[in-house]
Structure formats: structure tokens, C-alpha cells
Structure 1
Amino acid sequence: MSGLKYSVFDVLATVAEILLLRRKIKTGKKELDAVREQLKDTLQNIPEWAKSTLQKQIRASETWFDKIASLETQSSYAGDDVDTLRTIVESLQDAIRTGRALLEVINASVRNGLDQLSSRVIQTCSIAEQQFTAHRELIERWLGKETASRMTSVFSNVKDMMNQKKYSEAEKLLAHTANQLQENIRKATELEDKHQKRLYLLKALRQVCSGLGFQEVQEPYFERENSLQSRIVYRVDTLDKGQITFYLALDHITSHSEIEENKCFGEFEEISKFLKDRFGVITNFKRPELPEQPKLIQKGELEEPTDSSAAAAA
């Protein structure tokens, strides 16, 4: 069993949900910030003639600003209680919906006299920009800065068309842009979720190897510099049986070891057992020609690996 080994990896459902909720909190906070900035800008630019009819909405906006200020403290929670994380996600989503509703009412009043098409285009553009702002970092990270820049240019073109009252053309371009945005968000979040599972595996693996008395040869690093989609390389020395090098891809892990064949299988079984029992990470190391999909099972609360100084933890 010495030499090259392969294993797909996954995490228990509880761990997977924690990682997903944390990502939703991060993007939710950014989307909420985008709504807040749009609402602030809208309030500052309400025409004098409209202010008297919008006093109720203006007061509601002030209350909303106070509410989301307290939400910032709540959303900074760094624990792993699933119910708490779910509550934060729900609170963020509720605040976003409320902010958007206020924006729509105020903008509808200011746009009084505009036809249905122009109002629809303005509202659709506003929501799409909020979503883009919330996910721009992920899009840049996984799909490239050029992709994000192209979307920024398209939004600029849409606004130019709106300023020129070309709402039909703007709506067509916006519809295509909105579809492309959703596809980019889907791709980027899918890759990000895999990456977060990989980082969780890396932190767990480092702690397990340390607990087994292995010594790190060097800090983990990306196989291709500045490429998140490349494998993370992590090398340890067992001190008495030889070195093991782990290669963490987004959905599987391979390893190369110097351990003698009659000792190798037991060593990797022990690593897999620690990963599963302590951290909820499921692996099953096999020879490359015999990969086996780990079975995802439910389990209660599990110990989470503490933060490490891994250079790969982007």
C-alpha cells in the first residue's frame, strides 16, 4: 500500500451545513450593505416635492438602519451552533427583503409618472446590482477579475440606456445579464463551497498528523502559485516510517508515502479514523484505480479543527 493513494472526501451533514451557513452569512452581509448604500443614496436624493408624501417611509428607513446596525454584531458570531447560524441567515434575508421593499416604495413614488416598463427596468437593475455586489468577490476569486469587470461594464451600459430612456433595449440587455449573473454566482459558490470543505479537511489533517506525532516538513502551499483551483500540497514526516505528501484537490485527496507496505495501510486507516471521529471528515484511501465514494452519514456535534496558519487558507 505504499506509494500513491486516492480518496474522495466529504464531511458529515452537520459540518457541511455549518460551512454553508457561514458562506451565506458572508454574502448576505455584503448584499445587505449594498441595499443599505442604495437606500441611503435614494433618501439623500428624494426631491423636495416628494418628501411630504414619504414621511412614513423615511421614518421606517431610519428604524431599518438602526435594526441592521444591531444585526452587524449578531452576524459576527464565530461559533458553530447550527440554530444560531440559521437564525443569523434568516435575519439577514429578512433585513434585505425589508430594505428592498422600502427602496421600491420610495422609488415608485419618486418615479411617479413613469410607465410600467421603465419602473420595472429600474427595479430589476437595482436588485441585480445588489446581488452582483454581494458575490463579486467570489466571482473574481473563481471566475477571474475579467468576468467581474465585464459584468460591471454591462451594468454601466444598462444605466446609460436608462438615462437615454431606451428602456426596451435596457430590459433585453438586463435580462441576459441577470441570467449570466445567476450562472456565475452558481459556479462561483459551488467552487467556494468545495474549497471551504477542503480547507476544513486541511486544518483537520494538520491537527490529526500533529496528534500522531508527525512533523510538518513545510507550510501547505498551492501546487500552482495564486491558483485556488490547483491542489494544496501538505507534507509531513512520520519521523520513523518516512514522509507522506498529501495533495488536496477540490473534491478528492491523493497522497504519496515512503512508508513500508506492511505498515502503510494501518497508518492511513488511523488517519481516516481520526478525521472521521474527531472532525466529521470522511475519507477512504485506496489505490488510484479503486476510488470509493464515502457514504455521508448523520452525526451529532463534532469537534471543529482550530484555525491554522496555513498559507493555503485563502
Structure 2
Amino acid sequence: MSRNPVDHDLIASQQGFSQADDEIIQTQRRAWYNILISIRGTVIKDVLLRVACLTLFSTIITALYEFQYITVTYSADAHKLIGLGLSLLLVYRTNSSYDRYWEGRKLWADIVNGCRNMIRFGKAADETKKIRQLSHLLCAYCFSLKQRLRGDNTFSRYSDYLNDSQMQFLETTKNKPFAITLLITDWTRMNYTDRESLKIMEQYTAALVTAQGGLERIMNTQIPFSYIAQIHHILFGYLITLPFVLTEYHWAGIAVIALISFAMLGIEESGIEIEDPFGEDKNDLPLDAICSSVLNNVRLVCEDHHVDFDEPVRSNNVEIELN
């Protein structure tokens, strides 16, 4: 059976999302020198002012030493020990943030796979309206979860996938993605009577709920403030006292301090940048593209069954109601 090719970018753009995620930085297949000279998506702008202030301060201190307004020198042994410990703390801080980022990506992959499996199995319902209902619910679930992770509890962006009774139900709930899983469960019970099918669909729904719980755990669990504050204090003390222990470098010490400041502040800022991977910053997860991929997948299933996915859901005579 032949099928017209699907314009994925067009589909995404029609829903208000860009599958290319222009604001998300893509590093695949980029030459190292292109990355080296890149500014967009880096933390250079975020740390530039602090590096400039530290460089200016080190210039003043160096000048005071060079013109012998200050003659007392300090040993660098303590700074070496503090610098070693501080480096380990910064690396651990960044790794903790990346763990959150990567776990978030894996959980979203579980959601995408769960939606694919559910629509693949759900197409056995055969009836056009039933397939369309499940497709709309899965799309609404993904988009609602994305908005919840971004602190947006409205459903205007995915209201086209819901009928009036479903909209009224969601208006009374705070956790809208979970509420949609209840609607999916109700759809399953209305369309399957054999235990085996019910069990399989329940497993797929449970997988969505489990992945959502993991994403909410990342969203609601922040790195302890005391740990972050301690790193800030140690880092500030270390950098502000560097000019007093690098006097042997004379004027060249200014450049050394600027490089050290940029390196350490950049590592710290990188951890902050990816700590919350669900936002709309340039280095966050491409949630718009992920949700659009689910949209494209369910469209393909609908096309295979000659189902008009874009038919307004409120025109359906069959409504999903909670038991």
C-alpha cells in the first residue's frame, strides 16, 4: 500500500513547534575548530563580566607590586591545595548536573517508546474514532508533560487534542499529564475486554507514569543550596587572592589569572546551565522536537488506517468519561 510522504517539519510547524529546535545547540558533526570559536550556546557571556572584574582587580594588585607599593609575598602552597580540592568540587558539581540532564533524556526516550508501543498496540481497536481518540490523548499527554516540566499548567497548546468533557476534567486537576493517563486508562477499559490486552495496555500506561515520576523528581529536587554556596565562597576566595601569590609572573600573571578565572567560572556556570534540562535555554533538552516526534509517529499510524488525525476532536460522538 502506498502512502504519501509526511513533511515532518510542516507537521511540527503547524502545531506551533519547530522540530529543528533553532534555539537548541546541536553539536553532532561539528568540527572542533567550529566549536572552539562558537559563542552561541556557550557560557562566555555569562562569565565575561566576572572574569573582567577579576582581571581588572589583578591588574591593580600587579601594578601595586610592580611599583613596590606592596612588597609582601605569600606562598602558593596553600593555593595549590585549595585549587586541587576546588577543581574536584567543580567537576563533581558539573557531573551531577549532567547526570540530571542525561537521566532526563533517557526518561523522555522511555515516554516516546511507550507512546509508540501504545499506539502500535492500540491500532487493533480498528474503529476510526477509537484510534483517533488514543492518538489525540497520547499527543496531549506529551505536550502537557512538557509544559508541566516548564512550569506552565495551562493546556491551551494542546487543547485541540481534547474534547469538552476531557477539558472540563483537566480544569479541575493540577497534574494534567497524570490526569490524561487516567483518560487513557478509561479509553483502554472501554475498548478492550480480554485480560491480556488490558494487561499490556496497563503496562504501557504504567511505564508513562513511571517515567513522568522520574522527570518530576528531577524537576523538584534541586542541588542543596549549602553545597552550591560553599563552592561559590571557596571559588571567590581562591580567585580573589590569586594576584597575591602569582607575583613571580609579574605582568604576565594578569593573563594567567584571567585564564584560570575563565576556566573555573566556566566549569561552574556549565553545571548551572544544564542543571534544569527542561527549560528553553540553548543547552536544554529539545522537548519541542521530542513531542513533535510523537505527533509524527501517531500520524503515521492514523494514515495507515485511513484515519483523519486532524479531524476536530470535539466532533467525535464518543467521549471519554471517568468511571
One fold, TM greater than 0.5? no
The answer to which structure has the higher strand fraction is 1
The answer to which structure has the higher helix fraction is 2
More RCO (CA 8 Å, sep 6+): 2
